[in-house]
């Protein structure tokens, strides 16, 4: 008997079909091979030409480089090996990449391969989570949807912390599902879920907590033990979460400031301030002291706040391909649960994954601080997990008019929405959107007609071929758009602080090297210490994807590299530069510590002028490197203490030009 119609494979609350209908062909009987094939193809896609992304986000790459040479820098997440200042995030993702650099030597590959493997593990866990309560077809659909999500493909080939965050949260969701399944071991699974969320906090701070309402409600409502026991288990999970993420915070806060680096992104050298301010409530309110965006009440760099944010503009092509389908899937799963018992798995599933989607989606929609396109990867697992089971439930019950109409309508909506998203990049393979739309129209029509044919000849070859064709057309209409964007992303070089998946949309994002036919090849980025000159006009490259791209190591001349390397002996920092955006390429190219004045934005009060003067007097900093055009160094130049330092240097030291850059010898 097919697993699609086997009562054991149908979760509680999902009523069996009134009449046996044809199962999705071939997939269920070869579930193991399909699963392995999915993971192999995912690994191939995520690892293919991975080094073309170079050092990715050079801000984090510099910290990984430091972590691969200094255990102190590794532990604190320092930007440089001499541990002057940390990056503006907790360091868990740097720990993984730094250890890889320790073992294999620091390189683009040693840094990015762990990220790609995290992507494969995430796809495997999404499949496993869905498979636990549903059949292999639902799990396979979910796994594919996760694997081809454009923003997921982008970030699992990049070095931002989002890759590890998503893996940890998906693992946490799986642990909650195991806790709901188990009566005797539920407390241990909930404890594990808490630890995983705590580690997520050590990866990207408070963003990890967006899943907590869904995790908590799912277990409190559907867990097998009695209510008081479920409450106790939930409290144990909270305690484990605090322990899993709080131990590092406690160490940093308890250590004297002189024994650790300055906390980047904070104004008072406090990890608590960073957690609650710049990387916490400030992201919601827009009141982010020291940031380069936000505070406008319109969502910072993310445009106007509101439900429309995730569906259009810069965000839609990153995540929204299956978002309407996922919202419909949530309703379908709620209806499938019906009035089932409290412990019904379908209801628990939709609380868990639907809650993840709704809470995270609403937060991203209305946050008024800095938000970037790549944050949307946090929605990918929930979208994939919801679409898989709902698709199978609707297919299985297509003999009933309401599920049939819902499935056909969802196919049409998904195809039409994909057409709209593809039209944003109107000159990029324009034929594709018409193929998607046609597949959706024909597929939806077949969904409506096929059950009538099945009533007459349920076993005929014509019916089987019709089912195959219908499934193929649905897959083409739903997955061609995101898959094409993902393939284009794999074929493009991405670097800088704001990477974006897919081709240029004419909205200031995307592009890069092409696999599909498109416009001219990518141009060069800006000089070190100056903004990149990429896709803000809608026709540029995807290499740096915005004005935080920086110059990249390719723009650091060999003359300057040799100059810094020869001048590093006997100094704690070979050089100093304003902002991490300016310091990172210098450090990556030369391999010697470069002090980032003012941190990422150049707005951190570290060091003060007096502190910098003392370091110079002690002979700890050799050079000050400005930009190709003179002083400063990126968008942070001319702000706060870094501005005072720049002025003091120009007034007291002699400038020279080395490799096209302005350099000051602070020992003369």
Angle subtended at Cα 294 by Cα 292 and Cα 295, rounded to the nearest 5 degrees: 115
Upstream peptide bond of 314 is cis (omega within 30 degrees of 0): no
Angle subtended at Cα 245 by Cα 239 and Cα 249, rounded to the nearest 5 degrees: 115
CA distance 665 to 645: 14
Q: What is the mean pLDDT of residues 163-191?
A: 97
What residue ranges in 463-510 does DSSP mark as E strands?
Answer: none
- Give pLDDT tens digits for 241-287: 999 999 999 999 999 999 999 999 999 999 999 999 888 888 888 77
Angle subtended at Cα 647 by Cα 645 and Cα 648, rounded to the nearest 5 degrees: 65
Q: What is the DSSP string of 125-165?
A: HHHHHHHHHS-HHHHHHHHHHHHT-HHHHHHTTS-STHHHH
Beta bridge partners of 658: 661
What the block records as the tokens of 179 is 């806790």
What residue ranges in 73-116 does DSSP mark as E strands?
Answer: none
pLDDT, greater one: 401 or 463: 401
Confidence of residue 4 (pLDDT cuts 50, 70, 90): very low
Do the Cβ atoms of 56 and 112 come closer than 8 Å?
A: yes
Burial 531-554 (b: 16+ CB within 10 A, else e): bbbbbbeeebbbbbbbbbbbbbbe
- Give the CB-side neighbour count of residue 464, counting CA atoms within 13 A: 5
In the predicted structure, residue 465 carries a pLDDT above the cut 70: yes
**CA distances to 122, 172, 478, 533, 607 from 86, in Å:** 28, 27, 42, 27, 13
Confidence of residue 458 (pLDDT cuts 50, 70, 90): low
Burial 141-178 (b: 16+ CB within 10 A, else e): bbbbbbbbbbbbbbbbbbbbbbbbbbbbbbbbbbbbbb
CA distance 346 to 349: 5
Distance, CA of 198 to chain centre: 18
What the block records as the tokens of 471 is 């499934």
Confidence of residue 341 (pLDDT cuts 50, 70, 90): very high
CB atoms within 10 A of CB 660: 15
pLDDT at 119: 98
In the predicted structure, residue 385 carries a pLDDT above the cut 70: yes
Q: What is the DSSP string of 194-248?
A: HHHHHHHHHHHGGGGGGGHHHHHHHHHHH-SS-HHHHHHHHHHHHHHHHHHHHHH
pLDDT at 243: 98
In the predicted structure, residue 611 carries a pLDDT above the cut 90: yes
- Give pLDDT tens digits for 5-43: 333 344 444 444 444 344 444 444 578 899 999 999 999
Mean pLDDT of the residues in the chain: 87
Angle subtended at Cα 506 by Cα 503 and Cα 510, rounded to the nearest 5 degrees: 30
Among 22-36, 149-163, 421-435, 472-486, the minimum mean pLDDT is found in 22-36
- Give pLDDT tens digits for 505-549: 655 455 543 333 333 333 333 333 333 333 333 333 333 333 343
pLDDT at 288: 66
- Give the CB-side neighbour count of residue 489, counting CA atoms within 13 A: 31
Radius of gyration of the chain (CA): 26
Distance in angstroms between the alpha carbons of the first and the last residue of the chain:
84
Spell out the residues 6+ positions from residue 135 whose beta carbon is closer than 8 angstroms to its own. Answer: 3, 4, 6, 9, 28, 392
**CA distances to 175, 364, 448 from 170, in Å:** 9, 18, 35
Distance, CA of 508 to chain centre: 19
**CA distances to 413, 422, 509, 552 from 490, in Å:** 27, 18, 16, 20
CA distance 179 to 253: 34
In the predicted structure, residue 451 carries a pLDDT above the cut 60: yes
658: which DSSP letter? Answer: E
Containing 177, the helix (H) or strand (E) segment is helix 162-181
Query: At 345, phi and psi to the nearest 5?
Result: -75, -35
Residue 33 buriedness (CB in 10 A; 0-12 / 13-18 / 19+): exposed
pLDDT, greater one: 539 or 334: 334
In the predicted structure, residue 300 carries a pLDDT above the cut 90: no
Sequence-separated contacts (24+) of 648-652 with Cβ below 8 Å = 648/609, 648/612, 648/613, 649/624
Confidence of residue 222 (pLDDT cuts 50, 70, 90): very high
pLDDT at 520: 32
The number of residues in the chain equals 668
Q: What is the mean pLDDT of residues 86-100?
A: 98
Sequence-separated contacts (24+) of 358-366 with Cβ below 8 Å = 358/330, 359/210, 359/211, 359/213, 359/214, 360/210, 360/211, 361/310, 361/323, 363/210, 363/284, 364/302, 364/309, 364/310, 365/305, 365/306, 365/307, 365/309, 365/310, 366/284, 366/305, 366/306
Do the Cβ atoms of 196 and 244 come closer than 8 Å?
A: yes
Q: Report percent pLDDT > 90 for the chain.
A: 76
* Neighbour order of strands in the sheet with 655-658: 594-597, 573-578, 621-625, 661-665, 655-658
Confidence of residue 98 (pLDDT cuts 50, 70, 90): very high
Confidence of residue 628 (pLDDT cuts 50, 70, 90): low
pLDDT at 209: 98
CA distance 197 to 202: 9
């Amino acid at each position: 008997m097919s697993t699609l119609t086997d009562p054991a494979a149908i979760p509680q609350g999902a009523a069996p079909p009134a009449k046996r209908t044809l199962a999705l062909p071939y997939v269920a009987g070869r579930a193991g091979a399909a699963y392995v094939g999915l993971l192999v193809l995912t690994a191939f896609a995520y690892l293919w030409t991975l080094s073309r992304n170079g050092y990715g986000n050079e801000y984090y790459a510099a910290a990984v480089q430091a972590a691969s040479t200094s255990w102190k820098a590794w532990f604190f997440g320092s930007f440089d090996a001499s541990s002057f200042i940390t990056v503006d995030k907790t360091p868990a993702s740097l720990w993984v990449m730094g250890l890889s650099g320790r073992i294999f030597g620091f390189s683009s590959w040693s840094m990015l391969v762990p990220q790609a493997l995290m992507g494969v593990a995430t796809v495997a866990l999404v499949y496993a989570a869905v498979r636990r309560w549903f059949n292999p077809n639902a799990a396979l659909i979910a796994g594919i949807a996760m694997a081809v999500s454009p923003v997921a493909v982008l970030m699992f080939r990049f070095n931002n912390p989002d890759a590890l965050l998503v893996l940890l949260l998906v693992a946490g969701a799986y642990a909650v599902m195991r806790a709901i399944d188990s009566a005797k071991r539920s407390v241990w699974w909930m404890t594990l879920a808490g630890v995983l969320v705590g580690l997520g906090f050590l990866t990207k701070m408070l963003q990890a907590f967006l899943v907590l309402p869904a995790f908590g409600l799912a277990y409190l409502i559907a867990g097998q033990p009695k209510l008081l026991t479920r409450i106790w288990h939930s409290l144990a999970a909270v305690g484990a979460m605090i322990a899993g993420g709080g131990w590092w915070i406690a160490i940093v806060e308890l250590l004297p400031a002189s024994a650790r680096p300055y906390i980047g992104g904070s104004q008072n050298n406090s990890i608590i301030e960073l957690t609650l301010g710049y990387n916490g409530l400030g992201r919601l309110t827009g009141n982010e002291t020291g940031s380069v965006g936000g505070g406008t009440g319109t969502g910072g760099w993310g445009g106007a706040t509101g439900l429309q944010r995730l569906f259009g503009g810069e965000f839609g092509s990153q995540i929204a391909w299956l978002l309407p389908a996922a919202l419909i899937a949530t309703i379908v799963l709620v209806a499938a649960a019906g009035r089932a018992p409290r412990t019904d798995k379908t209801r628990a599933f939709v609380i868990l994954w639907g809650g993840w989607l709704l809470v995270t989606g609403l937060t991203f929609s209305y946050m008024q601080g800095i938000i970037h396109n790549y944050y949307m990867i946090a929605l990918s697992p929930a979208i994939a997990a919801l679409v898989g089971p709902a698709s199978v439930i609707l297919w299985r019950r297509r003999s009933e008019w309401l599920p049939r109409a819902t499935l056909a309508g969802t196919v049409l909506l998904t195809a039409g929405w994909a057409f709209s998203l593809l039209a944003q990049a109107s000159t990029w393979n324009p034929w594709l959107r018409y193929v998607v739309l046609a597949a959706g129209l024909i597929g939806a029509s077949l969904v409506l007609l096929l059950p009538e044919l099945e009533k007459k000849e349920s076993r005929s070859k014509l019916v089987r071929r019709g089912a195959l064709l219908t499934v193929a057309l649905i897959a083409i209409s739903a997955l061609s758009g995101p898959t094409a964007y993902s393939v284009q992303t794999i074929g493009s070089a991405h670097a800088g602080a704001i990477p974006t998946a897919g081709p240029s949309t004419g909205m200031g994002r995307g592009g890069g090297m092409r696999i599909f036919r498109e416009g001219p090849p990518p141009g060069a980025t800006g000089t070190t210490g100056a903004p990149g000159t990429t896709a803000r006009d809608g026709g540029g490259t995807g290499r740096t994807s915005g004005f935080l791209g920086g110059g990249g190591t390719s723009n650091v001349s060999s003359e300057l590299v040799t100059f810094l390397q020869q001048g590093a002996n006997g100094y704690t920092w070979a050089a100093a530069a304003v902002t991490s955006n300016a310091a990172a390429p210098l450090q990556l190219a030369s391999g010697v510590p470069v002090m980032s004045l003012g941190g990422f934005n150049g707005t951190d009060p570290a060091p003060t002028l007096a502190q910098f003067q003392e370091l110079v007097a002690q002979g700890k900093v050799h050079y000050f490197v400005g930009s190709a055009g003179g002083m400063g160094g990126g968008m942070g130049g001319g702000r706060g203490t870094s501005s005072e330092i720049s002025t003091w240097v120009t007034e007291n030291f002699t400038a020279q030009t080395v490799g096209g850059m302005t350099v000051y010898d602070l020992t003369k």
